[in-house]
Amino acid sequence: MVRLGCALLFASTLLFGCNRSEQATAEARPTHTKAAAAAKAAEKAKALEKAKAKPEQNEHADEPRRFVVPFAWEASRDEPLSQTRAYLKEILADNHVYMEHGPKFFASFADGQKPRATVLTCADSRVHTSAFDTTPENDDFMVRNIGNQVNNALGSVEYGVEHLETPVLMILGHSGCGAVKAAMGDISTQSEAVRHELENLHVSKPKTGVSADAAWSEAVVENVHSQVAIALQHFGSRVQEGKLTVVGVVYDFRNDLGHGSGKITIVDVNGNSDASRMQAFVEAIENDAAPGASRKKDGARGKRGDVERADSGSASEAANNPLSPELKRVVDRANEMANQASAPKLRTAAPAPSPAAASGH
Ligand SMILES: [Zn+2]
């Protein structure tokens, strides 16, 4: 505590110096009044003298804010600056471990990015790529905001989809989303900035007879569908051309959907949300992923540092490789079951390779 006291005293001294130097500056400023010239000159001289008398305080006037952080750690473990120190210590240590990937790993993407997915998700601290991708580097172009909203980050999403030409736009909502919950209620009490972010997040008000948790869970899924629909308004032509697939996903760490804690569930593909079609889609992608399009050495759960590119031979092979008869049957069956006559159909042949895959990087 003695050390802390000294630190605070030191900080206070510098802060005080800062205040006094601001005062000196204000006094030195021309007043633009019609005061007597002699009085003005005297005042100016006085101010200059004051400024000269405190060169060191002026020089260090901005430093207290930089110095209080390392001194704060002894006060309490829960105190904000103490948490800051602990957090920064941990990220530096984690980064040190991460650097063990070595120069070869980082060199593989040092000169440019070729992600396969633009991933729009919530800023929520419980949501991270580690839930669905052990090797996200150079593969997931991440865009985040509260409520995973397309229009609140349209420029970033558009950059991923149209400039980087990712073949996937994945919109990933999550159970327990605070933004969705806020949007279900009265947002007028929120700050202007937060209200601005939430005013385009439209979900149904809770129905009578539905528990609050169930309504919240439904609203999370509803928002994912809504965001997929908005994305299709912007990027529908790329979907029709086979260049883009918009996938709506819910990451469920609360097991609200009953599929298991931490499960990610595909709930929407290009505006299709029928459960049977989603099941068929998942079966198709799990059983017949184009071999050349994988970047993982050992199946889906590649080790870090194993990020690989599809070679051009495999990519062209993928382009000419229709779905197997069995999977084609699954997809056809799903399409037959579609209850939305105008909904886009699932593809019965492998799409053309994405520019990223075709480039052979
Ligand atoms: Zn959220």
pLDDT in tens, 14-56: 333 333 333 333 333 444 445 566 666 667 666 666 655 554 5
pLDDT of residue 176 exceeding 50: yes
In angstroms, the Cα distances linking 296 to 22, 171, 173, 211, 309 are 59, 22, 25, 42, 9
Provide the pLDDT for residue 5.
40
Residue 324 confidence class, pLDDT cut points 50, 70, 90:
very low
CA of 122 to the centre of ligand 1 (A): 5
Q: 257 alpha carbon to ligand 1 midpoint, in Å?
A: 16
Percent of the chain scored above 90 by pLDDT? 53
CA of 151 to the centre of ligand 1 (A): 15
Q: Please name the amino acid found at residue 242.
A: G
Q: Within a 10 A sphere around the Cβ of 251, how many other Cβ atoms?
A: 24
Which of 48-62, 123-137, 232-246 has the least mean pLDDT? 48-62
C-beta separation of 115 from 164 below 8 A: yes
For residue 342, pLDDT over 50 is answered with no
The pLDDT assigned to 289 comes to: 61
Give the angle 325-328-332 at the CA atoms, nearest 5°: 135
Distance CA 7, CA 70 (A): 10
Task: Determine the Cα–Cα distance for residues 129 and 251; give it in Å rounded to an integer.
Answer: 11
Helix ranges, the chain (H): 2-28, 37-53, 55-59, 64-71, 80-98, 102-107, 154-158, 178-184, 192-198, 212-240, 275-287, 312-319, 325-337, 355-358
How many beta carbons lie within 10 A of that of residue 131, not counting itself? Answer: 16
CA distances to 111, 277, 361 from 312, in Å: 20, 31, 8
Q: Please, where in the chain does CATH 3.40.1050.10 lie? A: 112-358
Just give the CATH number of 112-358: 3.40.1050.10
Average pLDDT, integer, range 127-150:
98
The rounded Å distance from CA 240 to ligand 1 centre is 30
Query: Residue 126 Cα, ligand 1 centroid: separation in angstroms?
Result: 9
Comparing 60-74, 107-121, 199-213, 331-345, the range with the smallest average pLDDT is 331-345
> What whole-number distance in Å separates Cα of residue 159 and Cα of residue 153?
10
Q: How far is the CA of 121 from the centre of ligand 1 (A)?
A: 8
Give the model's pLDDT for residue 239. 97
Lowest mean pLDDT among 180-189, 268-277, 302-311: 302-311
Q: What is the pLDDT of residue 107?
A: 98
Under 8 Å CB-to-CB from 337, ≥6 apart: which residues? 274, 276, 277
Distance (angstroms) between ligand 1 centre and the Cα of 142 equals 15
CA of 39 to the centre of ligand 1 (A): 63
The stretch 201-216 carries a mean pLDDT of 90
pLDDT of residue 122: 98
**Rounded distance between C-alpha atoms, residue 223 and residue 197, angstroms:** 14
Structure tokens at 80: 């904000």
The answer to whether 315 touches 145, Cβ cutoff 8 Å, is no
347 with 242: CB under 8 angstroms? yes
Residue type, 273: S
At residue 81, the pLDDT reads 82
For residues 83 and 23, the model is more confident at: 83
How deeply is 59 buried, as exposed, middle or buried, from its count of CB atoms within 10 A (0-12, 13-18, 19+)?
A: exposed
What pLDDT score does 287 carry?
A: 85
Residue 78 CA to ligand 1 center (angstroms) comes to 25
Q: How far is the CA of 149 from the centre of ligand 1 (A)?
A: 10
Find the mean pLDDT for residues 124-142. Answer: 98
Å from CA of 179 to ligand 1 middle:
5
Report, as an integer, the average pLDDT of 176-199. 95
* Category of 302 on φ-ψ map: left (φ > 0), alpha (ψ -120 to 50) or beta: beta
- pLDDT confidence of residue 310: 35
- Reported as a pLDDT band with limits 50, 70 and 90, residue 267 is very high
Q: How far is the CA of 218 from the centre of ligand 1 (A)?
A: 14
Least confident interval from 77-81, 88-92, 153-157: 77-81
Tell how far the Cα of 147 is from the centroid of ligand 1, in angstroms. 5
Tell me how far the alpha carbon of residue 225 lies from the centroid of ligand 1, in angstroms: 15
For residue 238, is it left (φ>0), alpha (ψ between -120 and 50) or beta? alpha
Greater model confidence, 201 or 292: 201
Q: What is the pTM of this model?
A: 0.67
- State the distance from the centre of ligand 1 to the C-alpha of 146, rounded, in angstroms: 5
- Interval between CA 143 and ligand 1 midpoint (Å): 13
Residue type, 6: C
> What is the distance in A from the centroid of ligand 1 to the CA of 148?
7
Q: For residue 303, how far is its CA from the centre of ligand 1 (angstroms)? A: 29
The CA 175 to ligand 1 mean position distance, Å, reads 8
Q: Tell me, what's the pLDDT at 11?
A: 38
In the predicted structure, residue 180 carries a pLDDT above the cut 80: yes
